[in-house]
Structure 1
Amino acid sequence: MWNHEVSADTEAPLEAVWAQYVDLSGWPKWNPGTQKIELKGAFATGSEGVITSAAYGDVPFKLASVVDKESFVIESPVNEDVVLRTSCHVAALPSGGARITHRMELEGPGSEQMGATLGEDLSKNLAAGAQALVEAAA
């Protein structure tokens, strides 16, 4: 398995960050490479959709887990053996504001080798996305 995680703090309240997550039309503003995202159903566990990006085209996904105003996990098949899992978590900070944590994992046979090849690009986008989300939530 390959994984990478980034965190960023914002002065924006947790609710402002969560509002950015559930407003799918706004994802291209903060999620690098995303051109659009379509969801069939509510922003809830089990819903499926498609993320469109310039680099990868249309990528199907499933919301594997959603905890309102706390976290969600997206799972997308990379191939028959490997799954890309993206976890997004937001938590209130004691001093105000919120901490945003984004994590990507490749899981399945060959995922470590795939991470060695794709990991740098995935990691770069993950960090840029967290920072852009800080700005979008402000």
Structure 2
Amino acid sequence: MWEYEFSAETTVDAAALWRSWSDPNRWPEWNPGIESFELDGPFAVGTTFRMTSPEGDTVELRFVEIIDGELWSDVFVDEDIEVRTEHRLTDLGDGRTRVTYRTEITGPAADTAGPEIGPQITADFPEVVNGLIKHAGESA
């Protein structure tokens, strides 16, 4: 298994953060890693979607867990690996919220593929989280 987690704290309202997250068609507005986005249904467990990076790489994922206002997870499955990313909001009290992105790569090839692709997948997490916080703050 390979794993990575990035978190940031903010005073932006958690409901505003969730609104930015739960409107996937607007993700390209604040996520610089998404050039284009295609959603196959609602923001709901089981819905698949495709994201294309500015470099032209397209990946298909599926929503596998959604707890309204708290977290959502997606998964990418290939022959020998599964890449699961959890996106979580944690109430810290005093009007502060922690935003966390966590990726786990599992499967038979995880020990070799994880160290290769994991850092590529997660390299922009700080920039993406900051983009989310800024977008949610401006939309509140």
| TM-score computed with the length of structure 1 as normaliser | 0.89
2:39 aligned with 1:48: no
Cα distance per residue 1:85-127 (max 9 Å; x no partner): 1110112221103110101111111112212122332232122
Distance 2:126 2:106 in 1: 20
Summarize the alignment of residues 25-104 of structure 1 with structure 2, pairs less than 5 Å apart: 25-55=25-55, 57-77=57-77, 79-104=78-103
- Counterpart of 2:123 in structure 1 is 124
> Secondary structure at the residue paired with 1:46?
coil
1:5 aligned partner, one-letter code? E
The Cα shift of 1:36 comes to 2.3
Cα distance per residue 1:23-68 (max 9 Å; x no partner): 2232123333211222222111111121222346221111001111
> Secondary structure at the residue paired with 1:43?
coil
Per mean C-alpha deviation after superposition, the further-off stretch among 117-126 and 104-113 is: 117-126
Tell me if structure 2 keeps the 8 A contact 1:8–1:134: no
1:60 aligned partner, one-letter code? E
Per mean C-alpha deviation after superposition, the further-off stretch among 104-113 and 49-58 is: 49-58
Tell me if structure 2 keeps the 8 A contact 1:51–1:60: yes
- What are the ranges of 5 or more consecutive residues in structure 1 without an aligned counterpart? none
* RMSD of aligned Cα (Å): 1.6
- What are the ranges of 5 or more consecutive residues in structure 2 without an aligned counterpart? none
Give the 4+ runs in structure 1 shifted more than 3 A.
none
- Counterpart of 1:16 in structure 2 is 16
1:49–1:119 Cα change, 3 Å? closer
Count of matched residue pairs: 137
- Counterpart of 1:105 in structure 2 is 104
What's the % identity of the aligned pairs?
31
> Secondary structure at the residue paired with 2:25?
helix
Distance 1:119 1:76 in 2: 12
Distance 2:11 2:108 in 1: 40
Tell me if structure 1 keeps the 8 A contact 2:89–2:100: yes
> Secondary structure at the residue paired with 1:93?
strand
